[in-house]
Structure 1
Amino acid sequence: MNTEANSTPKRSTFRHDASAGLVLGLQSVPDGLATGLLAGVNPLAGLYGYMVGTVSGAFSTSSSFMAVQGTGAMAMLVADVAVLRESSSPSRALVTLSVLTGIAMLVAGLLKLGSMLRFVSNAVMVGFINAVGVNIVLGQLANLTGYSADGPNRVVRAVNTFLHPGLLDGRTLAVGLCTVALIVVLERTPLRSLGLVVAVIATSASVHLLGWDQVATLNDLGVTLSGLPRPELPLLSVVPALLVPAVSLAFVGLVQGAGISANFLNADGTYPDPSRDFLGQGVANVASGLLQGMPVGGSVSASALNKEAGAGSRWSLVVASIVMAVVVVGFGSVVGQVAMPALAGLLILIGIRTVKPADMASVWRTGPVQKAVLAVTFLLTMVIPLQYAVLAGVGLSVLLHVVRQSNQVTVRRQVRDGSGQLVEVDPPAELPAHEVVVLQPYGSLFFAAAPIFLAALPDVGPGSNGSVVILRLRGRTDLGTTFMDALRRYAESLGDAGSRLVIVSANERIVEQLTVTGITDVIGDGGIYPGDERVGATVARAEADAASWVDAQR
């Protein structure tokens, strides 16, 4: 672990850490409750996740300033997990989901899978995150308006809500809209991020003072904050049903955490280790789950707030968790009076700010493929459960990467011009008779590219006798069985026409693969030329030998 994580607080930075921790801790109380509400679970699970995740992440990640808390995207994923609502013990099912998410993150960290995130395209992530923002807004309309519409998904329920304005509760709507307005105004005052805390307290207090009993509060959900969370064990019977949601949650949390690792330098000026941060987030999730908290991950907004508030080390995160614990223990009865539409207003504002039209426009202008990926990911996220939308987005990214790489395979012929200079030209459409053809492939030669590579080679016809095709594989380190099969078929077609295939490769593994797959037997003795460090020397030797063989066939 990072040595800073095990050190004692430094006097030179602790004053700043205490100040930043106070700001982050106070801001995290309503934010945590709102995130739990957004996830469709007991709002206290959101607060407990914030409290436990923040302190656990402080001591287990390599990042000095990463706040491991619930995020809007992860909360929306949790909201779409039907097992949590259908289980005989919803609280233990949530414990199980958090622990499984942590285990998935720990595995990713131990296997150092941070580099795998690069296979997820920007178009997929932009489409997903923006759709999550829209879903956050639509998902809180019931709490904002006091009218619970019917429908199979959030879009249909939102349309239903707008079509029945007479069924909305005016006082509930007023509390929610006033909360949004207050947050926007107070954020521009010296309160800054604490403005949302003041706004939620002010509007919730107004509900009590005005006697608006029809406006729902956390107490109406049966939320009783009686103290710190007690340990609870997972429910093993729901593990199979929660594996896919847990993997999806781990992926989203790790992607967001990787953004923090890449953009927030440690206090000593070094970059955090993404794989170590994966491990830390995994530890935080396991701890959060066992203490009744919801799944958590690296929060960009909370990490930025922590840094902007003056944090000098990871001890600001410890202070933030202590502040949350003090609120839980000392002001539990007050928390139950928080108005639901106030939290809904806070969430709707978060959702609106999550939507980035400029990012979507940038991807949209990039090209037709990115445009299609953005649209498909956005639409899937809007209409199907988010855990499946995430996996579909990942699958789409990988598929597009494979298609793009396979379509970039080209084959060029190497010849010498009148001055003896080596030049590259298009290979002949059909292999001529009694000629030496040196071919250099470019691009990723993996299984999906094999048919494209084979199609780019000169056709072997009745008039292709007595020729030699020299395939130069310099720089290749591995060829799959599909590609080997393509080479075998081409070598056999050349042999049937009375011609030969010669392969030049400096890589011992490729030479071994050619031998064990039987291609060496097909092309015959002297068909493999092991290369060396001299660029072009082996090809020149193979070309000279091939020319002699061609002359002998005339």
Structure 2
Amino acid sequence: MKAELATMIGSLRPARADLKSDVVAGLTFAVVNVPQAMAHALLAAVNPVLGIYTLMVAVPVGAIFTSSVYMNVSTTSALSVAAGAALAEIPDVQRAAALAVLVLLVGVIQLLAGLFRLGFIVRFVSNAVMTGFLNGIAVLIILGQLGELTGYQSRFSNSVARALDLALRLDRVDIPTTIIGLMTLGLIVLVLQTRWRRFAFILAIAAATVLLMVLGLPLFAATLNWQAVRTVGDISAIPRTLPDLALPSPQLLFSLLLPAFSVAIIGLIQGAGVSQGYPNPDGKYPNVSRDFFGQGAANLAASFVSGVPAGGSISGTALLLSAGARSRWANILAGLFVAVIVVVAAPLAELVPMPALAALLIVAGYQGLRIEAAQTIWRTGNVPATVMGLTFLATLFIPLQYAVLVGVAFSIVLYVAQQANQVVVTEWVLKPEGFPVEQPAPSVLPSRHLTVLQVYGSLFFAAAKNLEEMLPAVENTTRAAVILTLRGRTEIGSTFVTVLRRYNQTLHAHEGNLFLAGVDEAVHNQLAKTGLLKEIGEANVFPATPQLGEALNTAIDAANAWLDNQ
């Protein structure tokens, strides 16, 4: 840890040669992401200014503590939607306080994950689960903004239901709101096709704001009710000062613990994608666990300004790099530039039309769709495709804080079922002139004959039960010798021990004998502790050796000698 701290402190020294590039990259990020941060706060159903406060604090703090030099820790659509879902039952007057508690818990969970070096936990969330979840999030973002885009606020809470309700009530849409929203949407799409695509969001938001100001003049008032178009200022005034520090209320800690765990996992997985996708300047990939710690520190800091959850942002990281970022100072400066924008341009931010922010989020939602990844998973096999589909549906129709956990549960259950059905038992037929020939295991053991069995697949409890049904029957056999090869098995469960014990007892009842070949030392100890080694006989168990086939050949000699004596 001391070495890591020394490395971190050393990397914070700004290099004069990099500073100009980092200033440009940081300023670019601040200008582009202020409207996005406001939109992300809306996804969490809180004051848009809280998204800006998050950028001011989380981005520089994350830059200081992460292992990744380039990782941008900021607001993301997935985290904001998950936070909004977690706070859905909280009354509006208490939501900001509840958000602070949620973000505090997320920060603590991520800090602990980093301190205990739990970077490996992301392996338990499969690509199929995450693809289904992120695609579900993207669809929810698109559907969830249709009301703000059109001015029709449905009475339903579920985004899918609200979209269907809108489709049935198109006569209720507000024409001026829809015009501003569609104009912004079209402008974003057009600018994205040009060399100015990096500034597509900010240019479209600025154009929509100016257009609404012009159309709101008395000259145009007689045409349509442009005053009905909601702006950010209609939701809440943006303070002209930097955020005050606020202590999160501890009263909601326990009720928000499970949602915080889900939000933390989402953030860590997204951050791990950045860690593994963007190597540091020295060519080495960042330490995932320390990136966990950095994201936790960022959220902990954000909670004291009532910010929304922050996490490793792939789009933010890509933007900084494309703008010329050279060091972690690009992120630190980005946070400082956001603070300047808040102090200087707060009155302008209040004039931003809400349908324009909705259009921005719809484009962001579309960009978040992982269509190619979904196609790859769909072609891979039934199990990953099923896991992806179930997670996608769970994301659409159940609270988001549970959707990832449900997806992981689906993944585990289907994986276990798949592994249990992939156990195969084959027979190795010995040939004096060369290598053994592999063929399907016999259904019944031949009497007074040596049968060598090879087992493929997992031997956990469910698979062990299937294995028992696949072993050749003994009932109509006498004096059969069976060698079961276990090379490569470093552990056997209690269910497999029970299966071996029963098979050994059945063989003995029919005057047969069981031999085990290629037994690992750990497996040998398990056999001894369970008493099975004594039942099979120490002389019938042959430990694995570095030389391939040596244990099996020794077992074959012993089995043939036993048969000769019968």
Same fold (TM over 0.5): yes
Following superposition, the deviation at residue 333 of structure 1 comes to: 2.8
Shift of 1:30: 0.6
Q: 1:70–1:294: 8 Å Cα contact kept in structure 2? A: yes
CA distance in 1, matches of 2:413, 2:118: 19
CA contact under 8 A between 1:83 and 1:238: conserved in structure 2?
no
Aligned partner of 2:521 in structure 1 is 508
The residue aligned with 1:529 is: 542
- Supply the AA of the counterpart residue of 1:424: E
**Does the 8 Å CA contact 2:87/2:99 hold for their aligned counterparts?**
no
CA contact 1:5–1:58 (8 Å) conserved in 2: no
On the 8 A contact 1:92/1:232 being kept in 2, the answer is no
Aligned partner of 2:482 in structure 1 is 469
Alignment-derived partner of residue 159 in structure 2: 154
Deviations along 1:38-59, whole A, 9 cap, x unmatched? 1212222222222222111101
Contact 2:39 2:48 in 1 (8 A): yes
Q: What is residue 230 of structure 1 aligned with on the other side?
A: 244
Q: How far off its partner does 1:438 sit?
A: 2.1
Give the partner amino acid of 2:405: L
Q: Percent identity?
A: 41
Partner in structure 2 of residue 541 of structure 1: 554
> AA paired with 2:564?
D
1:301 maps to which of 305, 315, 332: 315
- Counterpart in 2 of 1:441? 455
Separation (CA, whole Å) in 1 of partners of 2:349 and 2:417: 53
Q: In 1, Cα distance between the equivalents of 2:487 and 2:47?
A: 60
Task: Specify the alignment match of 2:70 in structure 1.
Answer: 65
Q: Measure how far apart 1:248 and its partner are.
A: 1.6
Q: Which residue of 1 aligns with 2:125?
A: 120
Query: 1:9 is matched with which residue?
Result: 14
CA pair 100-84 structure 1, distance change in 2 beyond 3 A: farther
Q: Which amino acid aligns with 2:544?
A: G
Match of 2:270 among 245, 248, 256: 256
Q: Evaluate the alpha carbon distance shift between residue 366 and residue 484 of structure 1 in structure 2; reply closer, same or farther with a 3 A threshold.
A: same
Retained in 2: the 8 A contact 1:120–1:398?
Answer: no
2:267 & 2:241 partners in 1: Cα distance?
28
Q: State yes or no: 1:131 paired with 2:136.
A: yes
Q: By how many angstroms is 1:402 displaced?
A: 2.4
- SS of residue paired to 2:248: coil
Tell me, yes or no, if the aligned pair for 1:230 and 1:292 is still in contact at 8 Å. Answer: no
Cα offsets for 1:135-189 (capped at 9, x unmatched): 1011111211111112241111111112112211111111111212222233444
Secondary structure of the structure 1 residue equivalent to 2:234: helix
The answer to whether the 8 A contact 2:240-2:344 is kept is no
- For residues 68 and 440 of structure 1, the distance between their equivalents in structure 2, rounded to whole angstroms, comes to 51
In structure 2, what residue type is equivalent to 1:217? T
CA distance in structure 2 between the aligned counterparts of 1:280 and 1:404, rounded to whole angstroms: 37
The 1-side partners of 2:485 and 2:285 are apart by 41
Task: Tell me what 2:345 maps to.
Answer: 331
1:416: which partner in 2?
Answer: 430
CA RMSD of aligned residues (A): 2.1
Q: Structure 1 residue 358: deviation in Å? A: 3.9
Q: Which residue of 2 aligns with 1:519?
A: 532
- Paired position in structure 2 for 1:28: 33
Q: How far does the alpha carbon of each residue in 1:527-551 deviate from its partner, in whole angstroms, 9 at most, with x for none?
A: 3222322222222222222222223
Pairing 1:56–2:61 present: yes
Q: Give how far 1:420 is off.
A: 4.1
Q: Does 1:430 align with 2:415?
A: no
The 3-state SS of whatever aligns with 2:163 is helix
Paired AA for residue 442 in structure 1 = Y
- Whether 1:80 aligns to 2:85 is yes
Counterpart mapping for 1:355-370 below 5 A: 355-370=369-384
Q: Given the superposition, is the C-alpha separation of residues 496 and 44 from structure 1 closer, same or farther in structure 2, using an over 3 Å criterion?
A: farther
Gaps of 5+ in 2: 217-225
- Is contact 1:84–1:94 with CA below 8 Å preserved after alignment? no
How many Å apart are 1:350 and its aligned residue? Answer: 0.8
Indicate the larger mover: 334-343 or 55-64.
334-343
> Aligned partners of 1:88 and 1:26: how far apart in 2?
30
Checking the alignment, whether the CA contact within 8 Å between 2:76 and 2:310 is kept in structure 1 is yes
Following the alignment from structure 1 to structure 2, what is the Cα–Cα distance between the partners of residues 105 and 496? 58
Task: Return the alpha-carbon distance in structure 2 between the equivalents of residues 284 and 496 of structure 1.
Answer: 67
- Equivalent runs, 1:487-502 vs 2, <5 Å: 487-502=500-515
SS at match of 1:213: helix
Comparing 387-396 and 523-532, the one that deviates more: 523-532
Judge which range, 128-137 or 412-421, deviates more.
Answer: 412-421
* Secondary structure at the counterpart of residue 230 of structure 1: coil
Change in 2 beyond 3 A, CA 1:409/1:87: farther
Give the distance between the partners of 1:325 and 1:272, measured in 2 at CA: 28
**What is the letter of the counterpart of residue 409 of structure 1?**
V
Among 45, 49, 67, the residue aligned to 1:44: 49
C-alpha distance in 1 between matches for 2:551 and 2:203: 76
Residues 185-236 of structure 1, C-alpha deviations (whole Å, 9 max, x = no match): 3344454322311221221233233323211122222243242222222332
TM-score, with normalisation over the residues of structure 2? 0.92
Contact kept, 8 Å, 2:87 with 2:98, in 1: the verdict is no
How do 1:196-275 and structure 2 match up within 5 A?
196-211=201-216, 212-275=226-289
Tell me how far 1:249 sits from its aligned partner.
1.3
Shift of 1:409: 2.3
Deviates more, 1:338-347 or 1:488-497: 488-497
Determine if contact 2:518/2:552 at 8 Å carries over to the other structure: no
AA in 1 matched with 2:185: V
What's the counterpart of residue 480 of structure 1? 493
1:354, 1:224 → 2: CA distance? 29
Q: What SS does the corresponding residue of 1:544 show, helix, strand or coil?
A: helix
Q: CA deviation at 1:306?
A: 0.4
**Conserved in 2, the CA contact under 8 Å of 1:183 and 1:199?**
yes
The 8 Å contact of residues 99 and 286 in structure 1, kept in 2 or not, is answered as: yes
Give the CA deviation at 1:88.
6.4
Q: Match for residue 392 of structure 1?
A: 406
Query: In structure 2, what is the Cα distance between the partners aligned to 1:455 and 1:112?
Result: 42
Secondary structure in 2 matching 1:80: helix
The answer to whether the Cα contact below 8 Å between 1:84 and 1:93 also exists between their aligned partners in 2 is no
1:342 aligns with 2:347: no
Q: Secondary structure at the match of 1:441?
A: strand
Does residue 401 (structure 1) correspond to residue 406 (structure 2)? The answer is no
**8 Å contact 2:30–2:337 — kept in the other structure?**
yes
Q: Secondary structure at the match of 1:413?
A: strand
Could you tell which deviates more after superposition, 153-162 or 368-377?
368-377
The residue type paired with residue 338 of structure 2 is: M
Trace 1:157-172 onto structure 2 (pairs within 5 A).
157-172=162-177
> Counterparts of 1:373 and 1:188 in 2: how far apart (Å)?
35
Aligned residue pairs total 552
C-alpha distance in structure 1 between counterparts of 2:323 and 2:334, whole Å? 12
Alignment-derived partner of residue 200 in structure 2: 195
